[in-house]
Structure 1
Amino acid sequence: MTTLAIIPAFNEAQAIGPVVGDIPEGLVDEVVVVNNASTDATKANARAAGATVVDEPQQGYGAACLRGIEYATTRKPDIVVFLDGDYSDHPDEMPRLVEPIAADEADFVVGSRIRGNTESGALLPQARVGNRFACSLMRRVWGAGYTDLGPFRAIRFSDLQALDMQDETFGWTIEMQIRALEAGLRVEEVPVSYRRGIGPSKITGTLSGTVKASAKILWTIGRMAATTRRRAPQLRERVDRVRTDAPTLEPKG
């Protein structure tokens, strides 16, 4: 079983070293930092910390994640983990996300900051309200049990490829969570810790970022709700086809 971590990073020169350094030794085979048009020393510091660096000149969280997936196709890992590059996630808690997949108990694991220990001021009020509203809409439309749109998540790589992710900006996380449900993946949510990241928040830390992210998330939910009956059978078929060709993970223990 092989695991690859993907870290989208835009101007995270101070944080990227600690993020890479705190990933548990031996858990991940390769750490990939996607340099998303940074204008500081993010790229150099990521390499100095031991990460592989790939560039994505088009700014956007989803665009950086898609570039990471493109790189992962050259490595063909069993599991891919996504986490943020500002040190707000706790990389040392990565086993919580990887182990259910390695034990064949889940296909997709989302780290919930709402259910975990969140440092005061780390998850701003607008983010909490947005999370709650988005999760309530997913519950109504798809019967989802999510409590968070947390960026810290792990998924079987073959299933991730089958999901055919598209979003290039703020709708990335919720698109993945909806597509996972539509594809019939075994979804699990685990509590994770969350702290104030190093440097200012690039989304919910500003009014414009909050408005843009909220609008994109609501638009994504509406668009996907209107097309779910057509898309869900296609995703299930893709997952079945990919799993037929992909090797089976051997459970731990």
Structure 2
Amino acid sequence: MVLPCRDEAPALPGLLSRIPPGYRAIVVDNGSTDGSAEVARAAGAEVITVDRPGYGAAVHAGIEAAADGPVCVMDADGSFDPAQLRLVADPVRTGAATLAVGRRRPVGRGVWPLHARIANAGLAWRLRRTTGLGVHDIGPMRCAYRADLLALDLRDRRFGYPLELLIAAGRAGWRVVEVDVDYHPRAAGTRSKVTGTVRGTARAIRDMSAVLAR
């Protein structure tokens, strides 16, 4: 499984301790200044470093470093429960889906800021109209086979990566399923690069809108 990471040191020990057996954790450090890489190594994770900034750059490098077979991607901020990895992995492993994506279901009020939810809903609506895929979340938890992901030859290396993946999957005729996953508050001491501020959300919308325009 691939964990893109930038300044998530407070979240990593607890997160990595809950990774279910059978999953190989690859933490992709993308410019952290808080010692995230060292914390991840101390917790037993494999760590690779990507100098090029951007969510897509980190995810792509992690997928390249992964072994052949199903690859899960999940944020490293503690907002997802690793025990639920099977929810997105099982449809791919059984052949029921080529790509499984998690639809975030907040576990409490305030977990997912309103400005971020509105932006996500708008992008998902445009995606459904563009591709016909029945997805409602451009979510950061997903699973597909490594070879399939690399064959799509995705180009975006910023926040547009998840949207480009879904568009390319729709065009390729993939079977895409959406499963509900719990969305928790981020670990104390970490801050979202997207949902944490209006500016971060606006940057993600800009990157994703550029993908839609293409």
TM-score category (smaller protein): over 0.9
The answer to whether the Cα contact below 8 Å between 2:124 and 2:137 also exists between their aligned partners in 1 is yes
SS at match of 1:193: strand
Query: What is the rounded CA distance, in whole Å, between the counterparts of 2:14 and 2:40 in structure 1?
Result: 9
Partner amino acid, structure 1, of 2:94: A
| Structure 1 alignment gaps of length 5 or more | 224-253
Query: What is the rounded CA distance, in whole Å, between the counterparts of 1:23 and 1:145 in structure 2?
Result: 29
Query: What is the rounded CA distance, in whole Å, between the counterparts of 1:108 and 1:119 in structure 2?
Result: 27
| Structure 2 alignment gaps of length 5 or more | none
Q: How does 1:45-84 map to 2 (within 5 A)?
A: 45-72=39-66, 75=67, 77-84=68-75
> Is residue 2:1 matched to residue 1:10?
no
State the Cα distance separating 1:117 from its structure 2 match: 4.5
TM-score, length-scaled by structure 1: 0.81
Query: What is the rounded CA distance, in whole Å, between the counterparts of 1:60 and 1:140 in structure 2?
Result: 27
Cα distance change of structure 1 residues 118 and 165 upon mapping to structure 2, 3 Å threshold:
farther
> 2:191 maps to which residue?
200
RMSD over aligned CA atoms reads 1.2
Pick from 163, 173, 176 the counterpart of residue 187 of structure 1.
176
Partner amino acid, structure 2, of 1:42: S
Partner amino acid, structure 1, of 2:19: I
> 2:36 maps to which residue?
42
> 1:215 maps to which residue?
206
Query: What is the rounded CA distance, in whole Å, between the counterparts of 2:106 and 2:158 in structure 1?
Result: 27
The answer to whether the Cα contact below 8 Å between 2:8 and 2:77 also exists between their aligned partners in 1 is yes
Pick from 132, 149, 165 the counterpart of residue 138 of structure 2.
149
Structure 1 outlier segments of 4+, above 3 Å? none
The answer to whether the Cα contact below 8 Å between 1:135 and 1:144 also exists between their aligned partners in 2 is no
State the Cα distance separating 1:169 from its structure 2 match: 0.8
Which of 1 and 2 has greater Rg?
A: 1
Query: What is the rounded CA distance, in whole Å, between the counterparts of 2:41 and 2:108 in structure 1?
Result: 29
The answer to whether the Cα contact below 8 Å between 2:106 and 2:112 also exists between their aligned partners in 1 is no
> 1:98 maps to which residue?
89
TM-score, length-scaled by structure 2: 0.95
> 2:166 maps to which residue?
177
Would you say how many aligned residue pairs link Structure 1 and Structure 2? 212
Identity %: 37
